[in-house]
Amino acid sequence: MRVFRSVKDLGPLEVALKEAMEIKADRYKYQELGKNKTALLIFFNNSLRTRLSTQKAAMNLGMNVIVLDVNQGAWKLETERGVVMDGDKSEHLLEAIPVMASYCDIIGVRSFARFESREDDYQEKILEQFIQYSGKPVFFMESATVHPLQSFADLITIEEYKECKRPKVVLTWAPHPKALPQAVPNSFAEWLNAADVDFVVTHPEGYELDPQFVGDAKVEYDQMKAFEGADFVYAKNWSCPGVTRPEDYGKILSQDMSWTVSERQMAVTNNAHFMHCLPVRRNMIVTDDVIESPRSLVIPEAANREISATVVLKRMLEAL
Ligand code: AN0
Ligand code: CP
């Protein structure tokens, strides 16, 4: 695997999930695979889970790891070609990428949506430059539009906790005070569409996800109706994807607190498990009671980030 951004990059999902379970049972099994190989993790944005779980995954495989927080200590990077660099940016991404690539074997990049232009974000202008100019395998650690390591961990978690063969999984929008990217819901929809589940998406009008990710998943605008009989509830805020009105891209269209996941909605589910990728704002996205309930999976879900990252790095090491 040379690029990891989509469920398609993994090949058959059942095989990848089996591999994940095998690694979970013995996470140091491939200690020799990464000997004298270096992973470089580049963060343009904050992270707790991705940073730690991906470092741990690399260590599970015997790799060396370098982590760079671009905004803390590195030169400010220009990302647009053709700009006269007379401002505060000292270095261009076009030099920085090959230089960084020269010190490692595999590169992970986190670079969120900037919300300056829908086109730039959805064309993945930053990650595409890493793929094109690094000459190294690149995996996405949340880009402008996708967060595949998260969705892979989410699917591993659903596989572990499902109590029937084909569970009902509901992705619900929930309110948040700041405009957040669509990367998590985009990938979650993409990956769940590839899995053998009954998948429903619910959100207020205007929050329609990009068709390339949501595909022909069921969309239900009535949240209570969507929750009926659900086995898993996956909450997440996202800002307007700009599908129906491009001028609203990245805007907050609703702060309707009746969408906060509480016991009221959970009562109509099939005793559903609660999931969220974290970090989560309590009593905005979900009430204290629901996130603390025995049906909440937020901690095992985060722990599975180590497993999804180990599988991805293993696949990339095998293809070097
Ligand atoms: C980010 C997001 O919503 O994309 C990261 C989630 C993994 N969340 C925040 O910025 C709060
Ligand atoms: N879920 C997730 O990616 O968390 P971090 O932003 O802390 O890495």
Count how many Cα atoms sit within 13 Å of the Cα of residue 307 in the half-sphere of its side chain.
24
Q: Is the pLDDT of residue 73 over 90?
A: no
Q: What is the average per-residue pLDDT within 176-184?
A: 98
The alpha carbon of 50 and the centre of ligand 2 are apart by a number of angstroms equal to 5
Q: What is the average per-residue pLDDT within 193-218?
A: 98
Beta-carbon contacts of residue 205 (< 8 Å; ≥ 6 apart): 221
Cβ burial of 201 (10 Å; 0-12, 13-18, 19+) is: buried
Q: What is the average per-residue pLDDT within 176-193?
A: 98
Fold annotation for 150-301: Rossmann fold (3.40.50)
**What pLDDT is attached to residue 125?**
96
Ligand 1 closest atom vs CA 238: 3
Q: Is the pLDDT of residue 99 over 90?
A: yes
Domain ranges of the chain: 3-146+305-319, 150-301
Ligand 1 closest atom vs CA 49: 7
Q: What is the average per-residue pLDDT within 27-56?
A: 98
* CA 204 – CA 171 distance, rounded (Å): 12
Specify the length of the chain in residues: 320
> Which protein residue's CA is at the shortest distance from atom 10 of ligand 1?
180
- pTM value is 0.98
Query: Are 313 and 289 in contact, with CB atoms under 8 Å apart?
Result: no
pLDDT in tens, 120-171: 999 999 999 999 999 999 999 999 999 999 999 999 999 999 999 999 999 9
Task: Summarize the chain as % helix, strand, coil (round to 5).
Answer: 40, 15, 45
pLDDT in tens, 228-244: 999 999 999 999 999 99
Q: What is the average per-residue pLDDT within 25-46?
A: 98
**What pLDDT is attached to residue 133?**
98
Q: Is the pLDDT of residue 30 over 90?
A: yes
Count how many Cα atoms sit within 13 Å of the Cα of residue 169 in the half-sphere of its side chain.
29
pLDDT band at residue 12, thresholds of 50, 70 and 90?
very high
The alpha carbon of 171 and the centre of ligand 1 are apart by a number of angstroms equal to 16
Q: What is the average per-residue pLDDT within 202-212?
A: 98
The alpha carbon of 82 and the centre of ligand 2 are apart by a number of angstroms equal to 33
**What pLDDT is attached to residue 119?**
96
Asked if the 3-146+305-319 domain carries CATH number 3.10.20.440, the reply is: no
